[in-house]
Amino acid sequence: MSIPTPLTVALVGNPNVGKTTLFNQLTGLQQRVANFPGVTVERKSGSLTHSPHIEIVDLPGTYSLTPRSLDEQIAYEVLVGRRGKSPDLVVCVVDAGNLERNLYVVSQVIDIGLRVIIALNMTDAAEENGLIVDVSTLENELCVPVVPMVASKGEGVDHLIEKILNHGDQAQPYRWTLMDAVDAKIPDLTNILTEEAPQVKPEHKRMEVLRALAEDEALDGWRPQSPNFVKRIEELRQEFTDRGVAWKHAEISGRYAWLGQIVNKSVERVRGPATMSDRIDSVLTHKFFGPLLFVIILAGIFQAVFSWATPAMDLIESGVSAIATAIQSVLPPSWATDLLTDGVITGVGNVVVFFPQILLLFFFLGLMEDTGYMARTAFIMDRVMKRVGLSGGSVLPLLSSYACAIPGIMAARTLDSERDRLITIMIAPLMSCSARLPVYTLFIAAFIPAGAFFGILGYQGLTMFSMYIMGTVMAFVAAAILKRFIFKGPDSYFVMELPPYRRPRLRQVFVRMIQRTKVFALRAGKIILGCSIVLWFLASYPKVDSTAEINQAIIEAEQQRDTTLAQALVSNTDVNLNTLNDSVATKDKSLEHQQVIAQQNDQDHQSVIDSLIIIQQSAQIRGSAIGHLGRILEPVMQPLGFDWKISAGLISAFAAREVIISTLSIIYSVEEDEEGVALRDAILADQYPDGRPVFTPLVALSLLVFFVFALQCMSTLAIARRETNTWKWPIVMWLYMTGLAYLASLLVYQGGLFLGFS
Amino acid sequence: MTLQDLQPGESGKILEFESSVRSERLMEMGMLPGVIVKVVRFAPLGDPIDLRVQGYHLSIRRDQAAKIHVSKCES
Ligand SMILES: Nc1nc2c(ncn2[C@@H]2O[C@H](COP(=O)(O)OP(=O)(O)OP(=O)(O)O)[C@@H](O)[C@H]2O)c(=O)[nH]1
Ligand SMILES: [Mg+2]
C-alpha cells in the first residue's frame, strides 16, 4: 500500500453557490450556511471524512481574483499562496443556473496554473428554472472534470470525492483571446516585471500584468517596488486611450466572450424560468407592504421571543431552585455549600433561565437567513443606510449583531469600502445582542404589565421591541456622526446579488440555532461561572462582626420597651415577620436571638429582634467587598437612580452583560439567606433603609436604557481590536458607548423625576 | 439614455459605462456592453433598483445606474 500524499483542496467560487454546504458534506463539520452572499468570511479547514491526509479548505465567495473586499482578499491570498502553500487542487463550485458569471472566476483560477475540478452545484434549482447543462460538453470545452451535484442533498458528493482522489492534469491556461492590441504588449510588460519583481511566480505574471493595467489600486501597489513597470503601464494606458482601445475592460470582455460561447454550447433552455421567487418578491419588497411587513416581521419575532419562551423559562426557574434546595438539604451547612447554592447555582441558574428566549431568537434569525429574506432587508434598507452614509451591505452585519456583535463585526469584512467597514464595526455593538435579552426580560417582566393592545400586541413584547429599536436608531445616528466627522468621504456604492428565495431547510436552521446557542453558552458559561464564584466571595467576605452592636441594640430595646426606636423598627418590618422567623430558626447565628424569643413572648419583642437580624444581614452585605465597591460607585450612579447593588451589578456586567443577573441574584440570595426566591420578587421587594423601594419603574427604565447603549462585553472589544488591527477603535468605541449610556440614563431618570414619576 | 431612465418591466442593452462609475465589479458580474438588462423593480423607497442580468438578480443604486448608457429594447 502506498503512503497517501497529503493534499490540500480549496473550495472556491462565487458567493452563495453552496461552497460551505459542500464543505460540510465533505468534512462532516457544521460550518455556517445561509442564503445570502457573504456568509463565510474566513478560511476554514477540515479533513475529508475518513481521509485525514486530505485537507479541505472552505473560503469566502468571490466574483473574481481581483479582490474588492476583505473577505475576497482572503480567498485570493489563499489561492495565490500568500497564506501558506497554494492549494494542490481547487474545487470550483459553480451555480448551474448562472454558469456564465460563475465560470468567470473559474477561468481565472485555471489561468494561474491551479488544478481544477468543477462542482456543478444546484442542478436541482437550475432544472426548476428550465436549464439543463450538458456535462460532457462543458468538460470538453473547459478541459477540466465537471461533477454535477446537489450539495444540499448530498447528491454527487461521492462522485466528487472520487475525482478528488484521482485528479488528473492541470488544464491549459489562457484559452480565451485577449484583444490583439493589448495582447501584443504583454510580453514586454512581463519582462519588465520579471526584472523589477523577481519574486512573482511565473504562472502569476500574466495575471499581475492584466490587473495592473486595468486597476488603479493594483497599479499603485507596484509603485514603490517597480517604478519602471508602473511608468510603462501608464504610458500604455495613454497610448491605448489615444488609439481608442478599450484597455480597461480588455480582460473581462475577453473572458466573457469565451465563456459565452461555452455556455451557448453546453446549456439548453427547455422551459421558461420559474416565477415563484419573483412573485414572493413582489410582495416582500412591495412599495407599501414591503416595509410594513419588515416591521411586522421584526415586531412579531420579539413578541414571540417574549411570550413563547415563558413556559420553558418557568420550568427552568423552578428546576434551578429545586436543585438549590435539594443540595442545601443534602449537604451539611458550610461555606462550601453556600458557595455552591448561593454562588454557582444561583449565579449560573438565573442566566440559564433565559436560554429558551435566546434559542427562539436564534431560530427566527436563522429562518430569515435561510429563506433569503435577509438579503431583501439589505435591498429595502439601502436607501435609509445611504442617508447615514452607509450602504445596504452594512445591513447584514448589523442584523446578525442582533444575535451577537462578534460575528456581526466579522461580517463587515464583506463590505468593499474600508470606511464603511470601520463604521459598521463601530456601530454594530449598539444593536441589541442576545446577551442583553436576559436583562431586558428580567426588568420588563418585573415592571411592565402582561396585558396587550387589541389582544395581540403585548405590552411586554412591545417594550422589548422598543429597546431594539432604540439601539438600532442610535446605531444609525452614530453612523451619521462618524461619517460626518471622522470617516469623511464620498458616498459608498451598493452592488449586491439578490439570491432566489429558497424553502428554509429546517434541519439546517435547527443545527445553526443549537450551534449559536452553544457558542453563547460556552462563552457565557465560562465568564458567568467564574464571575459567580468570585462574586459570591466578594459578597460574603470579609465577615462583618455585628454581634456587639446587636447585643447593644437588644439591651437598649429592652430597656426602652416603648421607645420610638422599637416602634420604628416594628412598623418597618411587620411584613417580613414570617420569613424571618423561619430563617431565624435554622441559622446558628440566630441562636441567641432564639433564646431571647423563648424568654419573651411579647410580639413587640419578636419584631424588634427580627428587625435586628435584618440589620445584621444587611450590615454583612454592605460590609462585604462588593458592598464597599458598590458604595464607592454609588455617588456616581445615584443620579441615574441606581443604588449600590445595581452599581455593583453594572460594574460586574462589564465582563459580560448577563453577569448583572448573576450579581444581583447572588447579592440577594446571600442577603436573604433563603433559597428559591425568584430574582424578580427579590428585586420588587428590595427597599432602601427608609422604606422606599430600590427599584421603581423609572429606575428599571433607566437601567434598561443603560444596557441598550453600554458596551459591556470584553469579547467585542477583543474582536474589534483584531479586525481593526489597533486598540484605538475599540477604545473609542468603549468610551463613546459608555458615555452615551450614562447620559441617556441620566436623562431618563432625571427627566422622569422632573416630570413627577418616581 | 441611461439605465436609470428605464421603468420597471423595461429592458435595455448596455452600451457603455461612464468612467466615473466603478464598472469593473459590475462587468465581472456580467454587466458587459451588449448584455441585456431588465429593470425588475425599485426598492420601496425608490432606490436601489432590482435588475435582472444573465439570469440572476442584481441590485444597484440609481446614481450608479445613471452612469450606465443603454438603448431601450422594444419587447
Ligand atoms: N437548491 C439548492 N440549494 C443549495 C444547494 N447547495 C446549497 N444550497 C443553498 O444555497 C445557499 C448558500 O449555501 P452556502 O453553502 O452558504 O453557500 P456559500 O457558497 O458557502 O456562500 P458564501 O459563504 O456566502 O460564499 C444555502 O441556502 C444552501 O442551503 C443545492 O445544491 N441546491
Ligand atoms: Mg460559505
In this complex, is the C-beta atom of A318 within 8 Å of any C-beta atom belonging to chain B? no
CB A688 within 8 A of CB A694: yes
User: Tens digit of pLDDT for each residue in A476-491?
Assistant: 999 999 998 888 877 7
Task: Give dist(CA A718, CA A656) in Å, integer.
Answer: 13
Chain pair A-B, CB pairs under 8 angstroms: 111
User: Tens digit of pLDDT for each residue in B2-20?
Assistant: 999 999 999 999 998 887 6
CB A275 within 8 A of CB B40: no
> Is the predicted pLDDT of residue A7 greater than 50, yes or no?
yes
- φ and ψ at residue A452, rounded to 5 degrees: -150, 145
Q: Average pLDDT of A90-114?
A: 95
Per-residue pLDDT, A585:
45
Which of A282, A291, A496 lies at the smallest CB-CB distance from B59? A496
Chain B residues with CB under 8 Å of a chain A CB are 22-30, 32-33, 40-48, 50, 54-61, 63-64
User: How many helical (H) and strand (E) elements, i.e. helices and strands, does chain B have?
Assistant: 2, 5
Q: Which residue has the cell 432625571?
A: A750
CB A533 within 8 A of CB A340: no
> Is the predicted pLDDT of residue A604 greater than 70, yes or no?
no
Which of B25, B44, B56 lies at the smallest CB-CB distance from A380? B44
Task: Give dist(CA A335, CA A344) in Å, integer.
Answer: 12
DSSP 8-state symbol, B2: B
Ligand 1 centre distance from Cα of residue A684 (Å): 49
Interface of A with B in 389-408 (CB under 8 A): 392
> Is the predicted pLDDT of residue A632 greater than 70, yes or no?
yes
Contacts of A288 in chain B (CB under 8 A): 44
Task: Give dist(CA B68, CA B65) in Å, integer.
Answer: 5
More confident call, A617 vs A354: A354
Longest dimension (CA), chain A: 114
Quickly state the pLDDT bin for A575 (edges 50, 70, 90).
Answer: very low
Which ligand gives the minimal distance to the CA of A369?
1
In this complex, is the C-beta atom of A380 within 8 Å of any C-beta atom belonging to chain B? yes
β-bridge mates for residue B12, sequence order: B37, B72
User: Tens digit of pLDDT for each residue in A263-303?
Assistant: 999 999 888 887 888 889 989 988 899 999 998 888 888 88
Q: What SS3 state is found at B12?
A: strand
Q: Which residue has the cell 396587550?
A: A452
Task: Give dist(CA A225, CA A543) in Å, integer.
Answer: 69
Give the 3-state secondary structure of A427-462: HHHHCCCCCCHHHHHHHHHHHCCCCEECCCEEHHHH
Mean per-residue pLDDT of chain A = 86
Other C-beta atoms lying within 10 Å of the C-beta of residue A21: 24
**Does the beta-carbon distance from B29 to A386 stay under 8 Å?**
no
Per-residue pLDDT, A746:
96
In this complex, is the C-beta atom of A253 within 8 Å of any C-beta atom belonging to chain B? yes
Interface of A with B in 87-106 (CB under 8 A): 97-98, 100-101, 104
Percent of chain A with pLDDT over 90: 45
Task: Give dist(CA A382, CA A434) in Å, integer.
Answer: 25
CB A54 within 8 A of CB A47: yes
Grid coordinates representing A403?
444575535
> Is the predicted pLDDT of residue A566 greater than 90, yes or no?
no
> Is the predicted pLDDT of residue A714 greater than 60, yes or no?
yes
β-bridge mates for residue A93, sequence order: A119
DSSP 8-state symbol, B68: E
Q: Average pLDDT of A563-577?
A: 49
> Is the predicted pLDDT of residue A677 greater than 70, yes or no?
no
Per-residue pLDDT, A616:
67
Per-residue pLDDT, A574:
46
**Does the beta-carbon distance from A494 to B40 stay under 8 Å?**
no
Per-residue pLDDT, A247:
86
Nearest CA in chain B to A98: B55
Nearest CA in chain B to A105: B28
Quickly state the pLDDT bin for A578 (edges 50, 70, 90).
Answer: very low
- Measured between its terminal Cα atoms, the distance across chain A in Å is 82
- φ and ψ at residue B11, rounded to 5 degrees: -120, 155
Which of B28, B40, B60 lies at the smallest CB-CB distance from A104? B28
Grid coordinates representing A24?
460540510
Which ligand gives the minimal distance to the CA of A12?
1
Instruction: For the sheet with A116-121, list strands across it.
Output: A44-48, A51-58, A7-12, A89-95, A116-121, A146-148
Q: Which residue has the cell 451588449?
A: B34
**Does the beta-carbon distance from A249 to B24 stay under 8 Å?**
yes
β-bridge mates for residue A482, sequence order: none
Contacts of B25 in chain A (CB under 8 A): 63, 68, 416, 495
Task: Give dist(CA A48, CA A28) in Å, integer.
Answer: 8
Per-residue pLDDT, B38:
95
Ligand 1 centre distance from Cα of residue A212 (Å): 33
Q: Which residues line ligand 1 (CB under 6 A)?
A: A 15-21, 33-35, 37-40, 60-61, 121-122, 124-125, 150-152, 370, 502, 505
More confident call, B60 vs A614: B60
Q: Which residues of A243-261 are buried (b: 16+ CB within 10 A; e: fewer)?
A: eebebbbbbbbbbbebbbe
β-bridge mates for residue A155, sequence order: A150
Q: Give pTM, 2 decimals.
A: 0.86
Tell me the C-alpha to C-alpha distance, in Å, between residue A710 and each of A346, A412, A639, A747. 25, 21, 17, 15
> Is the predicted pLDDT of residue A619 greater than 80, yes or no?
no
Lowest mean pLDDT among A160-164, A608-612, A673-677: A673-677
Query: For an interface test with A, which of B3, B45, B62 has the most A Cβ atoms less than 10 Å from its Cβ?
Result: B45
Nearest CA in chain B to A211: B24
**Does the beta-carbon distance from A291 to B28 stay under 8 Å?**
no
Name the minimum distance, in Å, from the CA of A252 to any CA of chain B: 6
Residues 6 or more apart whose Cβ sits within 8 Å of residue A635: none
Ligand 1 centre distance from Cα of residue B51 (Å): 21
Task: Give dist(CA A335, CA A347) in Å, integer.
Answer: 16
Q: What SS3 state is found at A167?
A: coil
Cα-Cα-Cα-Cα dihedral sign, residues A302, A303, A305, A306: positive
- Cis peptide leading into residue B48 (ω within 30°): yes
Per-residue pLDDT, A618:
67
**Greatest mean pLDDT among A243-247, A366-370, A539-543, A681-685:** A366-370
Task: Give dist(CA A577, CA A565) in Å, integer.
Answer: 17
Q: What angle do CA A434, A436, A437 make, to 5 degrees?
A: 65
Ion ligand 2, residue ranges at CB < 5 A: A 19-20, 39-40
